[in-house]
Amino acid sequence: GSMQLTLCTAGGRQLIVPEALPEWTKRDLHLASPGLAEVSPLATQIFLGQCELDGSTTLAELGATTGACLTLVFTPAVRVVTASGLDARVWEFPSGRTLSVLKERDHGICFVVFSRGGAQVLTGSRDAAKLWCASSGKCLHTFELLIPGSVWANQDCSTFATFAPDGAAVIAACDQHRAKIWCTSSGKCLHALSGHQNYVYSVACSPDGSRAITGSFDATAKIWDSRSGMCVLTLEGHRGAVTRAVFSPDGSKMVTGSLDDTARLWCAVSGECLRVFDVANDFVDFASGGSRVLTVSRRRDYAALWCCATGEEHGLGFVCLYALSPDGTKVMTSSDMGTSVWCASSGELLSQTSGDGAGARVEREGSSGTEASGQGTGVSVESEALRRTGEGEDDAGGASPRCLFSEPVE
């Protein structure tokens, strides 16, 4: 039979649901609750004790009985930028409200990056990067890149630029085998990071913003002092282009991915190579607080988690789409067989749904953006966002659509 439930918010507000049914899911509870019918279920979390009512879980499976008091938490708003062809659009998520349209006049948009908090957006084309106000759509500054088309054509361009953690600077790959650091307030170039012998493929910042790392076609990665622009370390050992280089969350380690089908773990202080992971990779990043490395190969459709301490591999199987949760604790993989969510620390399979693998790969930009992942399993947010924004298809220019989530809006 039916039961009466109470939803309690952190502010002390109480919502009474007089006739809830045991087979109801979170969406059903939303539709029946006063004041929640117009709120997307993605904008809330509902708990009974420490257990969350999420996805297809029913009230009966949660253990709710008549008279139960459930905790209602409203999740912070985030911003979403979707880019395809000559346009990028900034949306509010989960409401789906359009905030601004960013117009690129000359070349298609190849990458998008959010500043921390989502106040600014950096877009990149073949000849320039542009800094925009996310709310108004006003172009604040233009930074010259002039990277040859052959480089763009053969690289996942999401690695080409990033914001400093405090948002005061932008670092981007540019011409003449260099990267540059620009001031976001004045638009002036602060430093040109010169020293590579071939084009720069990847840039990233340390968590405290004091250092930057660049990966290059010359098979090296270099560490730079962000304040002086001086090179302090050169990481050598790869036999192919370094396509991705990132710092661990505590800044003590770095991982690089290369076209030589290896990923390497490095000490950020000495530059010593700590481990070599023999795996084809197009994406590498730290997971589980820096204790694991995630590698994904789109060439072989394979993903794996690696233990930094032992080098042990935990394969995640055949992968078409992937995402890493913002806190690095979960990995989502998707294929024709369905979608799986894994614990990043243990490699344990947490949940699995069957399906056709439809969805969108969502770019991760270090501290400058987050994947399409909720605080629960982190599986359903990306498809919901694309349904709301309507950006599931290619448009002018035939460019592959990109979707990036900001951190919670400040």
Domains, the chain, ordered by start: 3-74 (3.10.20.90)
Q: Please indicate whether residue 81 or residue 44 has the higher confidence score (pLDDT).
A: 44
- Report, as an integer, the average pLDDT of 201-220: 95
Residue 236 confidence (pLDDT) above 50? yes
Residue 85 confidence (pLDDT) above 50? yes
Share of the chain above pLDDT 70, in %: 80
At 261 the pLDDT is: 92
The token pair at 265 is 């773990």
- Stretch among 62-66, 247-251, 379-383 having the lowest mean pLDDT: 379-383
Residue 392 confidence (pLDDT) above 90? no
DSSP notation for 189-253: EEEEE---SS-EEEEEE-TTSSEEEEEETTS-EEEEETTT--EEEEE---SS-EEEEEE-TTSSE
Q: Please indicate whether residue 286 or residue 282 has the higher confidence score (pLDDT).
A: 286
At 397 the pLDDT is: 37
User: Within 13 Å, how many C-alpha atoms sit on residue 18's CB side?
Assistant: 1
Rounded to whole angstroms, the Cα distance separating 371 from 410 reads 18
- Report, as an integer, the average pLDDT of 222-241: 96
Cross-sheet strand order for the sheet of 189-193: 161-163, 169-173, 179-183, 189-193
Residue 320 confidence (pLDDT) above 70? yes
User: Are the C-beta atoms of residues 146 and 168 closer than 8 Å to each other?
Assistant: no
Q: Please indicate whether residue 231 or residue 332 has the higher confidence score (pLDDT).
A: 231
The token pair at 222 is 């270099």
Place of tokens 């988690």: 305
pLDDT digits (tens, 9 = 90+) for 90-146: 887 666 778 888 887 666 777 888 888 788 999 887 778 899 998 899 999 999 876
Q: Please indicate whether residue 90 or residue 395 has the higher confidence score (pLDDT).
A: 90
Residue 382 confidence (pLDDT) above 60? no
Among the listed residues 335, 330, 306, the one whose alpha carbon sits nearest the alpha carbon of residue 318: 335
**Mean pLDDT comparison of 159-163, 342-346, 371-375, highest-scoring range:** 342-346
The token pair at 228 is 């002086």
